[in-house]
Each structure stands twice: as structure tokens, then as C-alpha cells.
Structure 1
């Protein structure tokens, strides 16, 4: 069980870094120099709209994978953790000395 948990955590980190990269690679609508003057020509490898479609699909797929991994890791961590879910569980109790009467 712990091997699967470590594998999912590693996959989650990889997918999150990939998602960050894909989102940062996306540009706004008509963000290149040709778009500033109203031209439709672009010097990109995918054409003016091809890169946006590929990056949009990669973003959507990686987001779905990220969410599924997040839910599954939450469920797995809650099952493997101790049954007592208190914040103060495991802390030593401190007993105070009885007050002296004068």
C-alpha cells in the first residue's frame, strides 16, 4: 500500500509541474506582433491557432488527471492515517498541582 501511495505522490508532483509548464506556455489571444496590427499570419510551428488548441487540450487533460490524483490521494491518506483525527491527540497531558489553601 505504501509503494502505491509513494507512486501516486510522485505522479502527482510530475503532473502538477507539467500543468504549470503548459499553462505558462499559453499565450493570450493575438499576443504576437502580427496580432497587434490585425494580421493573421504567424511564425509559430503550429500555425496561429494550432498551438492554442494543442495546449488547451493538454491543459484540460492534465487538469483532469491532477484532480483525480488529488481526490485519490486524499482518500488514501485518510485511510492510512491513525483513527484519532484530533489535533491534540498524542500530546502529553499536563496536570497542574492542586492549589494550596492558606
Structure 2
């Protein structure tokens, strides 16, 4: 099945490249107006009228092959089931239950406020104090202007 997909993909790419080349070789509808006024458009590679039939028919055949290859690739890609079909959440491994988290006390959120000051770090003249209790919402911690 993999080899068939590779062959169809190579045929599609080559068809696309040949179609690009053939479309660039063709003249637009307004190119024949220049030949009526003396332009050298009639001296083209396939002649004045032969190029339109040959190039347009070849482009139509290549376009049909391109569309068939595109439909074949779409059909084959829908046949193959993905390795892990389903939701990402269904495939996720269950995590180990986390330890319950105790919210920190509001006094410990203030720098230097919730812990007593050791005697060797600060002056011995002031007693160690703790910060006053703050509301649990955290609104009191927002500085005001």
C-alpha cells in the first residue's frame, strides 16, 4: 500500500510540473490580435493553428490525470487509520494524585513578616514580631497610590 501511495504521489508531482510547463507555453486569447497587425506570432513552434489544439488537449489530459491522482491520494489517506485515534485527553496517561496543597498563611506571604527574626541577624533591642493578619482574598496586598 505504501508503494502505491508513493507511485501515485510521484505521478501527481510530475503531472503538475508538466502542466505548469504546458500552460506557460500556451498563448493567451489576446495573443492572436498581435498577429493580425504584423507581429511574428504566426512563426511559433507548432505553427499558427497547431499549437492551440496540441497544447490544450495535452493540458486537459494532464489535468484529468492530476485530479484522478488527487482523488486517489485523498481516498487512500482516509483508509489508513491513525495510530492513536481518539481524543488527546483519552490518550493522556493518568497522573499520580498530587499531595493536598495547604494555602500559605497570609503572614508568610509578606517578606520578613511571618518569621521571627533570629538574634544574630538583627539588633537585640527590638522583639521579634509577626505581621498582622490580612484578608484571605489578597486584596490587602495590592499597593495603593
Partner Cα separation in structure 1 for residue 79 and residue 31 of structure 2? 47
What is the distance in 2 between the residues matched to 1:36 and 1:7?
46
Go from structure 1 to structure 2 and tell me whether the alpha carbon gap of 1:81 and 1:33 turns closer, same or farther (over 3 Å shift): same
Following superposition, the deviation at residue 74 of structure 1 comes to: 0.7
C-alpha distance in 2, partners of 1:52/1:46? 9
Partner secondary structure for residue 42 of structure 1: helix
CA distance in 2, matches of 1:36, 1:22: 24
Q: Please give the TM-score of this superposition, normalised by the length of structure 1.
A: 0.74
Which is higher, the Rg of structure 1 or of structure 2?
2
Q: Distance in 1 between matches of 2:24 and 2:3?
A: 32
| 1:19 equivalent in structure 2 | 19
More helix by share: 1
Deviations 1:61-96 (A, max 9, x none): 11111001000001111212417276x58985796x
Pairs aligned (count): 101
Is it true that 1:48 corresponds to 2:38 in the alignment? no
Structure 1 equivalent of residue 62 of structure 2: 62
Per-residue deviation at 1:34?
5.3
Q: RMSD over aligned Cα, in angstroms?
A: 3.4
Long gaps (5+) in structure 2? 104-145
Q: Displacement, 1:35?
A: 1.3
Gaps spanning 5+ residues in structure 1: where? none
Tell me: CA distance 1:21–1:45, structure 2 relative to 1, closer, same or farther (3 Å).
closer
What CA distance in whole angstroms lies between the structure 2 residues aligned with 1:73 and 1:7? 10
